[in-house]
């Protein structure tokens, strides 16, 4: 894994001005609302999250595994298929969700009636909206990556979980 | 950042997320330099639509060019952002201002992407 130094010096940031300021809080509130939406299968949400991590090169996000997805059977074999998901043996619902993710983060003009039709075969309108908002939330890492302030918390793959309010909790090995 | 139509669709489908989404977008407009944000938003809008972008006026200042270059990298491939591209911003703005700008650009970039895709895939 490539090592980077943060591009802004912590001592140069005034707490409460920008860092930990109103927009940080607004982004955190949005993120909490998104993770508390639970209409989509946690495995699909996790694959979408990790696809965002791959495309954006987020070291922290890539080092985490969501506890709910682990409980549903997520494993590193699934993780290894994300990069080439279109030719993988993922089920069609997962592939459609990842195509929606890619449309948002890679090529918005690629979204079309064919993708809409495919999504509607597997997801309700509310679920499609939830996946769209998941992608927006899991792309919060773009700001962290731009400033290279997304160092992993550990050399090993760690657990990501959320409290009742949707606040993230990081820590502990994902696999024993 | 989002059209009324797309926001209304999201509000109808995800009523608990729409208010914090709206608030986040409002804050993103408030914390960064409004002229710089408007300039860079114009770039993002064109880039995501695969349209050529021409500055609304010329010449751009060195500061404006640095922020546009950062925005271009952020939108197209944030993972290959270079240290120098952030250092270029710090020649013209404080760390607090750069931090606020980067987070405003995240919200702007993703809201524009959401607008383009949601308009096509939501019923």
User: What number of H helices and E strands is found in chain A?
Assistant: 9, 3
Interval A31-50 mean pLDDT: 97
Domains and CATH numbers, chain B: 4-121 (1.20.1290)
Contacts of B102 in chain A (CB under 8 A): 143, 146-147
For residue A107, give how far its alpha carbon lies from the nearest alpha carbon of chain B (Å): 7
Q: How far is A47 from chain B (nearest CA, A)?
A: 19
Query: Can you tell me the mean pLDDT for A150-171?
Result: 93
Q: Which of B95, B23, B77, B8 is nearest to A24 (CA)?
A: B23
pLDDT band at B1 (very low <50, low <70, confident <90, very high): confident
Name the packing angle between helices B83-90 and B62-77 (round to 10°).
150
End-to-end CA distance of chain A: 22
CATH superfamily for domain A19-155: AhpD-like (1.20.1290.10)
Contact A108 B98 (CB under 8 A): no
Q: What is the mean pLDDT of residues B68-81?
A: 98
- CB-CB: which of B31, B95, B121 is closest to A12? B95
CA separation for the pair A98, A171 (Å, rounded): 26
Q: Exposed, middle or buried by CB within 10 Å (0-12, 13-18, 19+), for B41?
A: buried
Average pLDDT of the segment spanning B8-12? 98
Q: What's the CA gap between A92 and B36, in Å, rounded?
A: 43
CA distance A94 to chain B (A): 16
Contact A133 B116 (CB under 8 A): no
User: CB neighbours (10 Å) of residue A86?
Assistant: 9
In this structure, are strands A168-173 and A158-162 parallel, antiparallel, or unpaired? antiparallel
Q: Say yes or no for a CB contact (<8 Å) between B24 and A24.
A: no
Convert the pLDDT of each residue in B81-107 to its tens digit.
999 999 999 999 999 999 999 999 999
Which of A3, A32, A129, A150 should one mutate to test binding to chain B, selecting the residue with the greatest count of B CBs within 10 A?
A129
Mean of the pLDDT values across residues A8-14?
A: 93
Report yes or no: A139 and A174 within 8 Å, Cβ to Cβ: no
Q: Are B48 and B112 in contact (CB under 8 A)?
A: yes
Query: What pLDDT sits at residue B106?
Result: 98
Residue among B102, B114, B123 whose CB faces A136 most closely:
B114
User: Whole-prediction pTM value?
Assistant: 0.97
- Is pLDDT of A171 > 90? no
C-alpha A85/C-alpha A94 separation (Å) is: 9
Is a pLDDT exceeding 80 seen at residue A1? Answer: no
Mean of pLDDT values over A41-67:
97
**Cβ-proximal residues to A130 (8 Å cutoff; 6+ apart), any chain:** A34, A37, A39, A40, B13, B14
User: Taking all residues of chain A, what is their mean pLDDT, rounded to a whole number?
Assistant: 96
Contact in structure between B32 and B100 (CB atoms under 8 Å): yes
As for the ipTM of the complex, it is: 0.97
What is the maximal distance between C-alpha atoms in chain A? 51
Q: For chain B, how far is it from start to end, CA to CA, in angstroms?
A: 20
Task: Please say if the pLDDT value at position B8 is more than 90.
Answer: yes
Average pLDDT of the segment spanning B105-113? 98
Note the pLDDT tens digit of each residue in A76-114: 999 999 999 999 999 999 999 999 999 999 999 999 999
Q: Which helix (H) or strand (E) holds A176?
A: none
A159 touches chain B (CB under 8 A): no
Taking 80 as the threshold, does the pLDDT of residue A172 lie above it?
A: yes
Tell me how close the Cα of B55 comes to any Cα of chain A, in angstroms.
22
Interchain CB distance below 8 Å, A143 and B114: no
Higher pLDDT, residue B1 or A26:
A26
Average pLDDT of the segment spanning A34-51: 97
Contact A133 B14 (CB under 8 A): yes
Spatial contact of A105 and A55, defined as CB atoms under 8 Å apart: yes
CA A136 to chain centroid, in Å, comes to 9
A–B CB contacts, 8 A cutoff, strictly below: 168
3-state secondary structure of A9: coil
Contact A147 B102 (CB under 8 A): yes
The DSSP secondary structure of B100-115, one letter per residue, reads HHHHHHHHHHHHHHHH
For residues B24, B97, A60 and A78, what is the CA-based torsion angle, rounded to 10 degrees? 50
Question: pLDDT tens for residues B28-54?
Answer: 999 999 999 999 999 999 999 999 999
What is residue A98's three-state secondary structure?
A: helix
Per-residue confidence (pLDDT) for residue A170, from 0 to 100 = 93
């Amino acid at each position: 894994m490539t090592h980077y130094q943060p591009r802004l010096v912590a001592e140069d940031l005034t707490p409460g001005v920008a860092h930990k300021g109103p927009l940080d809080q607004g982004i955190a509130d949005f993120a909490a609302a998104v993770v508390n939406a639970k209409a989509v299968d946690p495995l699909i949400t996790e694959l979408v999250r990790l696809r965002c991590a791959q495309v954006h090169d987020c070291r922290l996000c890539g080092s985490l595994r969501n506890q709910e997805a682990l409980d549903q059977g997520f494993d590193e074999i699934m993780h290894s298929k994300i990069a080439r998901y279109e030719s993988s043996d993922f089920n069609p619902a997962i592939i459609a969700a990842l195509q929606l993710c890619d449309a948002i983060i890679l090529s918005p003009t690629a979204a079309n009636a064919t993708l809409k039709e495919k999504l509607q075969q597997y997801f309700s309108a509310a679920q499609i909206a939830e996946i769209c908002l998941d992608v927006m939330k899991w792309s919060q890492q773009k700001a962290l990556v731009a400033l290279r302030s997304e160092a992993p918390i550990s050399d090993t793959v760690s657990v990501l979980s959320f409290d009742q309010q949707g606040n993230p909790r990081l820590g502990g090995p994902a696999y024993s | 950042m989002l059209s009324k139509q797309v926001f209304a669709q999201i509000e109808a489908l995800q009523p608990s997320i729409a208010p914090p989404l709206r608030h986040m977008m409002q804050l993103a407009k408030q914390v960064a330099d409004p002229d710089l944000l408007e300039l860079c938003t114009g770039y993002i809008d064109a880039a995501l639509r695969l349209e050529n972008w021409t500055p609304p006026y010329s010449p751009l200042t060195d500061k404006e060019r640095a922020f546009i270059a950062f925005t271009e990298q952020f939108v197209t491939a944030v993972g290959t952002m270079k240290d120098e591209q952030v250092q270029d911003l710090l020649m013209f703005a404080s760390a607090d201002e750069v931090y606020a700008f980067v987070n405003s650009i995240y919200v702007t970039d993703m809201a524009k992407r959401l607008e383009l895709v949601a308009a096509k895939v939501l019923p």
